[in-house]
Amino acid sequence: MLLPKSRGFRNDLKTGPFSLRILLLPIFLHIIWTLFTPLILSHPPPSPLSPLLFISHPTPSPTDDSTDPRYRKGWLDLLFIAYYVVFFSFVRQSVLFRICYPIARYCGIRKRETLARFGEQGYAIFYFSFFGAWGLRIMSRLPTWWYNCPHFWIDYPHWQMTPGLKRYYLMQASYWCHQLIVLVLRLEKPRKDFKELVAHHIVTLWLIGWSYGINLTLIGNAVYASMDIPDFFFAMSKLFNYLSWKRTQNIMFIIFVGVWTYFRHYLNLVMLYSVYTDFDLIPQSARSFEPRKGVWMVWWVKWQIFTPLLLLQCLNLFWYFLICRILWRVVTGSSLKDDRSDDEGEDDEPSALKKKKRS
């Protein structure tokens, strides 16, 4: 399997010419191992490629039910994350070049900067719709369903994860690692809030790493859902903006403001309040620092949980201020322009819409 010629590290990361081949090679070798090692060995070992493709570290189920498996965390999870960073590189480029850009051109968008922004928001819709729905589905099967926050702490440590929860968590980690690479290497044109976005991604990865490491995946799942769902509505509003569907854009933006307010502020404050007040619901036997037993909850860990959530809320409040400024323009009938962007509204109206505005 020949690899394409490199055009430089940064360009390779941006265009992803190696992604598909890197993804297929472990799958191909895994299939060969699975098919042929039983013909050679009477007791073949597991495929060494499995940790890249599948979640690792199964553990006995507390119910002793073979249909209800459980998994714990482990070092092989890093291989899974690394593989799916490449996976998201491939998915991003496929969605951009096979779906988003053709749709944008069909709708009459020609300006290069607007095409790029349209693609970014199209990919965001693809990702956040899937992972927002997946996160809610997983939460619906947990005792924390719809932010029943005391269960973040009751029966801690929650170190035995369902397959779905572990897979979801690690793939979220892969996505945000990939997004940080995209942001830091400026593979997308930076916006005015570039520094805030970098801070957001770092805080997000901080939360992911700590919550996974100290067995707080239940609150992590709730935080993910509260972030992903508003981002879907925001991306939809932006997409309608690039298409110049003014009426639809305004309606979607108003819906987005309501969703953002509820999920990113009300529910996040509910979770912050739970960290502050419900932390003592952790069983007394788990209030010690014994990593080998999966127990980490000494008193100061409370503030290690509270601080990044508070920082995330501060960043959300910064963006909420910008959102409210845009909302005021909608209410007063002014232009609905994203304050973070340098290139919006600059003669990039789709040509088809110059003849007739769509609603």
- With residue 248 as reference, give the H or E element that holds it: helix 246-260
Peptide bond just before 283 cis, omega within 30 deg = no
- Total length of the chain: 359
Are residues 326 and 338 in contact, defined by beta-carbon separation less than 8 angstroms?
Answer: yes
The pLDDT score that the predictor gives to residue 357 is 45
The pLDDT score that the predictor gives to residue 358 is 45
* 3 state SS of 61: coil
The pLDDT score that the predictor gives to residue 347 is 45
How many Å apart are CA 156 and CA 145, to the nearest integer? Answer: 16
Beta strand spans in the chain (E): 58-59, 70-71
The pLDDT score that the predictor gives to residue 61 is 82
The pLDDT score that the predictor gives to residue 337 is 63
List the chain pLDDT tens, one digit each, 359 residues: 444 454 554 555 555 567 888 899 999 999 999 999 999 988 889 999 999 999 999 998 877 777 789 999 999 999 999 999 999 999 999 999 999 999 999 999 989 889 999 999 999 999 999 999 999 999 999 999 999 999 999 999 898 999 999 999 999 999 999 998 888 888 778 878 788 888 888 888 988 998 999 999 999 999 999 999 999 999 999 999 999 888 898 899 999 999 999 999 999 999 999 999 999 999 998 888 888 777 888 889 999 999 999 999 999 999 999 999 988 887 887 656 666 555 554 445 554 444 444 44
Beta-carbon count within 10 A of 184 CB: 12
Are residues 257 and 290 in contact, defined by beta-carbon separation less than 8 angstroms?
Answer: no
